Chain A
Amino acid sequence: MLDQIHPLRHARTGFRILSLLFVLALSAGSADEKKIAVFSPAATYSITVIDRDGREYAGLLEMLEPLGKVSSIIDGPRWTLRYNQIDAEFTNGKKRARVAGHEFDLPANFLLENGRGLVPVASLNYLLPRILGTAVNFNPAARRFFIGNVAVHFTAQLTRTTPPRLVMTFTAPVNPTVATEPGHLRMTFNRQPLVAPGTPTLTFDDKTIPSATYSESNGLSEIAVNGTVPLMASFSNDGRTITVAPAPQQAVAPPTPAAAPAGTSPAGVAAAPNAPGAVPSAAPLAPRHFYAVIDAAHGGEDRGVTFNGKLTEKDVTLALARRLRQELESRGIPTLTLRDSDSNLTLDQRAIFANTAHPVVYIALHASAAGKGARIYTALLPSGGENNGPFVAWDTAQSAMLASSQATAQGVAAEFSRRQIQTRTLSAPLRPLNNVTSSAIAVEVAPPDTDVTDLTLPAYQQNIASAVASGIAAMRDRLGAPR
């Protein structure tokens, strides 16, 4: 038996190494590498397009693997693929194929290369519905493949305010890469199945934001907002709304977290717009300085730890965040909370909103059933992350503030100890701590004893919140003023 397993194991190990090298080579590939983006309810991914004899080919196995159970068998020139219960047969160098017992011709020969079955990209539009058994929509020019009803639509509306604001509302949360350049603000959607509006160019009859253009290519879609002044984008409504507005002039008003999905102190900024009509029209971009940003971890579909049938980490952290905000404000510390409802933010969004607010301290809240009391974490910085001049590496953005964060953690821990709450200070690979550019700590609250439901005790939560707030307040002189 061992004699039979060993050759196969070596073959698997070799195949994995080759696969890894292949993946590394792909990731290091040129930016203009041809790709097909696949959007489906099960997964969003992209596969590489290969040119053979002037035609574009794609690996059929790679295309189907993220979508269901798939296997293939090579028998000489014949390549048989099984996806769930559907069999598809191809022959190397032949156009004729058979899917689920029905024969048809591909627009070009099927290719078998190193065990990979390659089909012409032009055949995917009618090949995949037969294999998947569901409707697909393929845009070959943009190389974007939609399986099922996953498309995200958007509307854009310009508010006639001073300054004007372009409010884009999406049918699902989006998280584009935003880049600004003179005259344009570009939002590139890598992973969202965004589809074109009725017309690719939207005009607004406005001097500041005259138009926006939608385009798509090589699996990506992009919205370019044209402006006569520098523009900035802000996210709200759990990523379903993007508001583009003129960037505030530094001399007049520093950047504000005006569109952060936040609950704020009474002295804080206006609430985030939930719909175009709710945009704070003509809201003055007054300087806002938050000393502390509170981030209740998890939320929405991300429940965090499920302690029992009903009690979840996201609910405990939200309750703690509200108490902590109250405690900080009662000590005269202006506070911004990133989440004040059962909504979710990505880790990147949390860091972006925190960094935009330029607080002195960022406090993430977690909850756990393990151990007792509280644990206070600072960032465990990952490897790499070179800073180039004014550009700071995202993964190690915390590096310059790590000593300050550790001092903050020690200050808060001292307050816990003073109240005889069991506490530990540790570093942790816990995002977004490493992405935050201010002092940043995470507090993980465990029950006072063995009963996890004690996490919901108002007195216990209040004691924890009060301890954190007192620790922060005691550190105020050392941490300095808001930037």
Chain B
Amino acid sequence: MSSGPSRDGILLSLYRNRALVGMLVARELKARYRGTFLGYLWSLLNPLLLLGIYTVVFTYVIPARAASPFPYPLLLFSGLLPWLFGSGALLDAAIVLPDNGPLLRKVVCPPEVFPAVTVLSHLVHHLLALPILLAGIAVAAAMGLARFPWTVVLLPFALLVWVTAVGGLALAVASLAVHFRDLKDLLHNLLNLFFFATPIIYTLDQIHVPLLRRAILANPVTPLIQVYRDVVLLGELPSLLTWGWAVGVALVCWTFGAWTFSRLRETIAETV
């Protein structure tokens, strides 16, 4: 038998098992809406309803002024979508290995498949929600509120960077959570902290306290969300520095995650 991917690398193992990963992602999606009346429509409806609520609340209840020509609900939504994708994937990654314990203990199955499936199925939900965001932006553009951001063609790159970072962290979280169950609760609170420390519900331009601004800029999640929002909504080309920083953060996350996972890989089956 092969000695497994500890030597070959996680990525190669995932590539070799791509058909299985694909099937498992399809299984997640099928199982998720099985028995519901609206089925896959929920993937569209959920973000649509969310956008609707934000629009009502931030237009009529607490009128918020955005620092961009776009209405605030769209600004919020364009930061919230990638964030929900990332945080959802990480929270699921913390329980995915124990959840698939029977498979790991009873069937010969490469464990790296499961965090990958978690991230990819969240990615699919994200991709299903994207049209709602784009439609919202198109409506705003049609109403003459702003130009349609043609930089959106760069979105695949911004998304790739984000997926790399989330994927790496998911690997780390999944393998560490097997040994350290407290990680799940810790993660919950960390995500809360980062949610407010990252320009999601606000933009960087609105922060005028220099120290605070510097802290937010130092937050490694900031450039990842920034490049995403810049290309999808604001129609700005992020500076090379921002891109570089975002790519750097993503690579560090991936390397750390893959390293941690391969280090702990052999202990997973007997600990879950």
A binds B: no
